[in-house]
Amino acid sequence: MEKLSKQVLICCLLTAISVLLSCPVLIMSQQEDESEFNYDVKSNIGPFNWGDIKPEWSLCKNGSMQSPIDLLNERVQIVSHLGTLQKNYSPSNATLKNRGHDIKLEWLAGTSYLQMNGTQYALKQFHWHSPSEHTIDGKRLDLELHMVHETPSGQTAVIGILYKTGRPDHFLSLLTKHLEAVSNSIGAEIEVGVMDPRLVKIGTSTTLYYRYIGSLTTPPCTEDIAWTMLREVRSVSMEQIKLLRDAVHDDSDANARPLQPVNNRLLQFNKPKYQH
């Protein structure tokens, strides 16, 4: 009996220690997720200071191929050889996560991909910025979707879609209840079931798009990212934009990085010869 009591006591102590040890880890991850950087230009962890926060984020201030940029039509080189965007998307299970500064939709199976220059880039995730990060002839729009693709070796290609306020976006309408579920809970992640990336409407933009080499628009601001910015502007409702911003609850009206220097980079605009 005495032996049994000791075993029970030991089990209770181990359980208590386990709980106590787990608590600081949970708190630390929440603080880190929420406070490592922000979009307040006056903050010491705002976009103008990202490169000073961590050594591995130094490209945010020292990089020469940073994003976003202004897609100035006077600067672009019009080409036709880039061709139609070769997307091969299919439905698969996905999760939705509140990352503190944006909402990420992540696909769990690597069945969808973008084919570019003979290389397959697997579709990894979507996330949204408001207002838009890229501008066209200096004009900033209301929302920007980033469709992030990666190769097994770590090469990244991003398709960007710009939106202005108007009719609701169909794809975001499908996510409404899920966005509400992760609202105000930083780090919250839920399964949303099967989602079809083909439901993101891009119209004629598979042939009309800008292409340049840039960077991630958030720390660590990794460069050599192949950017494809679709020319056609889609519509999104003000309520949908508000839901995306309110969900992250970061006390900011925006999560868009300021424009970065072009630094004489090649900016191409793909336009088939038969189009006017």
Active site residues: 101
SS3 content of the chain, % helix, strand, coil (to 5): 30, 30, 40
Please give the Cα distance from 189 to 127 (Å, whole number). Answer: 14
Enter the tokens of residue 73: 């039509």
Helix (H, G, I), strand (E, B) or coil at 214: strand
**Residues ≥6 apart with Cβ < 8 Å to 249:** 183, 184, 186
Please give the Cα distance from 134 to 231 (Å, whole number). Answer: 11
Length of the chain (residues): 276
Q: CA 109, 114, 120 angle in degrees (round to 5)?
A: 80
Contacts 24+ apart (CB under 8 A), 28-36: 29/187, 30/186, 30/187, 33/99, 33/100, 33/186, 33/187, 34/100, 34/186, 34/250, 36/219
Please give the Cα distance from 201 to 91 (Å, whole number). Answer: 15
Please give the Cα distance from 113 to 117 (Å, whole number). Answer: 13
Enter the tokens of residue 211: 């292409």
- b/e sequence 190-212, b meaning 16+ C-beta within 10 Å: eebeebebeebebeebebbbbbb
